């Protein structure tokens, strides 16, 4: 049992470890393409990301796929930056504490799968048809 009197909030390395466990558990047909995506864990989303998405509160953004979905890539198109999945630690911890009904591992896994679904070409609406996480 965790001693919450002396325990610290999970740091970025814990979030990254949970995310990498989720990626490692992807079905083989997704694991290969997923291995080309960079995983980054930051405290908060950058102002640039927040402005681009028109989000005022950085605690509202737990993750972000930054790249060109596989369904839109062409071998002849130059790629100027690597595809990246960003996880935002403080927003993830805030949602975890607010929800109180899921483990941190389950929440990180949900965010990771959601962002990788964007890499595979799924829209938020596509994802919502099979994953009603917020309910």
Which pTM does this prediction carry? 0.87
Q: What is the mean pLDDT of residues 78-95?
A: 91
Instruction: Kindly tell me if the per-residue pLDDT of 133 is higher than 70.
Output: no
CATH 3.30.2010.20 describes domain 12-70+80-130: yes
pLDDT at position 132 over 60: no
Of the candidates 36, 99, 125, 62, the one whose C-alpha atom is nearest the C-alpha of residue 53 is 62
Non-local CB neighbours of 85 within 8 Å, separated by 6+ positions: 19, 37, 38, 39, 40, 63, 64, 65, 66, 112, 115, 116, 119
């Amino acid at each position: 049992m965790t001693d919450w009197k002396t325990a610290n909030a999970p740091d970025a390395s814990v979030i990254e470890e949970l995310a990498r466990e989720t990626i490692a558990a992807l079905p083989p047909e997704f694991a290969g393409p997923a291995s080309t995506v960079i995983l980054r864990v930051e405290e908060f989303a950058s102002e640039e990301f927040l402005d681009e998405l028109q989000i005022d509160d950085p605690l509202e953004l737990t993750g972000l796929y930054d790249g060109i979905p596989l369904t839109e890539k062409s071998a002849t198109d130059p790629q100027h930056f690597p595809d990246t999945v960003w996880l935002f630690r403080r927003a993830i911890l805030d949602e975890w504490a607010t929800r109180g009904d899921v483990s941190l591992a389950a929440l990180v896994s949900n965010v990771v799968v959601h962002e990788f679904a964007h890499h595979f070409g799924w829209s938020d609406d596509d994802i919502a048809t099979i994953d009603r996480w917020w309910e």
